[in-house]
Structure 1
């Protein structure tokens, strides 16, 4: 099968979404499919063994000029016209110029795909908009929906209403109607989006974020990480709804009961955390065992620590439901270390770990979190290998073999 992938970015250092997209692309190729990639990274990035074409941005157009004028007004004069313009047009001038750039590239394509897969990141969905404007591709189109869209369809507390919400609703309704099939990284997200766009329930399949082969280049540990200690690691962006306060308070309760453990325990929060800078600064003053680095890290460095920590932590928002499958979930499974899941009861992470998985808590349940840390700590004291995750079922679910079987089943059932 020939698969055309139209993707925002294949730079794994720019976001967790790009890491997930690249893992999926690599596994499609490893599964034996002929993969051709158009990407809008605006850099000449290549993936080994895969033909990748960097889409060129259109720089001689009215839209390009207007987008740069808008940027100058915003940066130099602090004049933001974006809300007004997007309320009128639905999207920014930059968005329209970007999608036109993608469309121009697609119109020149000589590759004849059996499947057209659109992947995006963040809240842009530019590849989806571009392919929507190419009706000749709709009969083979699979629209991959990585997150809820538009933003007012996010569950609380993430939800917020954009000035252009109505146009974005119309855009995604068309995606749900025109795409031959849709794909989602989680079962809960498929059901969630299907409640707003019922056609997704007819066309949707679950393609989870992938474990792709990756060889760590730098295996040296930074000075702040001692693999011989009991390390609790959260790696990733602490977005505003994802508060680490319950985790830190749980650690303090654990220390109150286990004072001798302080020399052996470390809690590492690695990744952007500007939303909690003041709070974390205060905690660092009273908890020397807390290590906070508010910055972005190279994937190679973080992945090395994930594979050598004692426990990997996934923090999600306090909510009734979390339909997201975090992009780092496959990395945590591959690291083969116990996952401490701080998630709502109704969440994709908890669904995959299983109803009987014991290392789970609501994100603000400090007492339970302290009890789980204590349980994990004493297991580590007995034998660090007792903290191995050993979930072959999840490794298979996130693997290239499962992906190959899923795509082949679509083809055999004449969906493709």
Structure 2
């Protein structure tokens, strides 16, 4: 077998503070480097940033194009007159003006690359963008080497219920991804269920798709200084992440409240922290924060460094997903929670990637609105913590290995 060591990576961002997708992508890049591969990273971060020990090329935005002018005109019309022309054009073309210009900018930068001879070309994206994928789709010479990383369902009308967004240009987006499924050498999914879910729409993903989970990175971050609201000496239940509309925290809070009512002695040494954007539930959360002194809700985004530190010092890390029959997602925080080695309180569907990985015998699982079960789980975990039991730790070396760079290297070398 001929070793394939050179990997050209095309990603929209390497700024770990701009999205959970960027955090996950950077962990993949770092673990590929640790695996011994030679990397060159083209990124469209729009901010001066780099990754230590990795050759990074910042892609410049092309500002003398028709699409660039139209994108700025669209912004001006919205700011001045509150007129949004994007939906009208997206319905016909599938994408925004800025999307087209960004793809052109990425493609232009890649066409200038002549020195690095990649064995694989890996495209990484975030949210519902996939600009890097579209740029490489336009470069036929790399299709036979193309590893297209698919982090979430796309287009968004392929999300499972209760997500129900349909983009104006849904049909063009759907056909774009059909081309990705056919032209890429392999699609990479962070989740087995996501591969199967997307393969039900695009059969080529089932045939040539592979699963590479989000990665545990050993990148060193100073986690010794924590925010003042985090009390190390307390039994701390931590949820880190934006509360999108389907991720309703009401069951978690009411379960916590029920636990406190049953065990008033725990009020002195217990806290529940909710970190991240909360717009959809602001009124409810503000009211509950006033009623429950053991509840802290952050006013907004909390830095990656602080979140990582608190996850490692927390007693319990919560993963909260939507009320649904299925969740094919692997949350970006999952490897961080495994690395923290504390119990995971998983609130989500039983048919999910998180449940699959934790296993059928894992105890601390409930639907997001099962208040009684949530309270019971908190009670059990509190007892483990109070009695300094070994069961206060997650202790899942199998999951650490699954998301470690040595396994990643094996998967890439087998392609």
**TM-score bracket for this pair, using the shorter chain length:** over 0.9
Q: Are the counterparts in 1 of residues 214 and 332 from structure 2 also a CA contact under 8 Å? A: yes
Give the 5 Å matches for 1:1-400: 1-110=5-114, 111-383=116-388, 385-400=390-405
Q: How far off is 1:324 after superposition?
A: 0.4
Structure 2 residue aligned with 1:413? none
Please state whether the residue corresponding to 1:252 is helix, strand or coil: helix
Instruction: Write the deviation string for residues 77-124 of structure 1: whole angstroms up to 9, x where unpaired.
Output: 111111111001110110000000011011111121100100000001
Q: TM-score, normalised by structure 1?
A: 0.97
Counterpart Cα distance in 2 of 1:312 and 1:223: 19
Aligned-residue CA RMSD in angstroms?
Answer: 0.9
Q: How far off is 1:52 after superposition?
A: 0.4
Counterpart Cα distance in 2 of 1:218 and 1:342: 27
Q: Which runs of 4+ in 1 moved over 3 A?
A: none
Q: How far off is 1:384 after superposition?
A: 5.8
Instruction: Write the deviation string for residues 216-244 of structure 1: whole angstroms up to 9, x where unpaired.
Output: 22511221111111000001111111010
Structure 2 residue aligned with 1:414? none
**What are structure 2's unaligned runs of at least 5 residues?**
none
Q: Are the counterparts in 2 of residues 274 and 294 from structure 1 also a CA contact under 8 Å? A: no
Equivalent residues, number: 410
Instruction: Write the deviation string for residues 256-309 of structure 1: whole angstroms up to 9, x where unpaired.
Output: 211111111100001111111001011112111110003111111110010001
**What are structure 1's unaligned runs of at least 5 residues?**
411-416
Counterpart Cα distance in 2 of 1:119 and 1:81: 29
Q: TM-score, normalised by structure 2?
A: 0.97
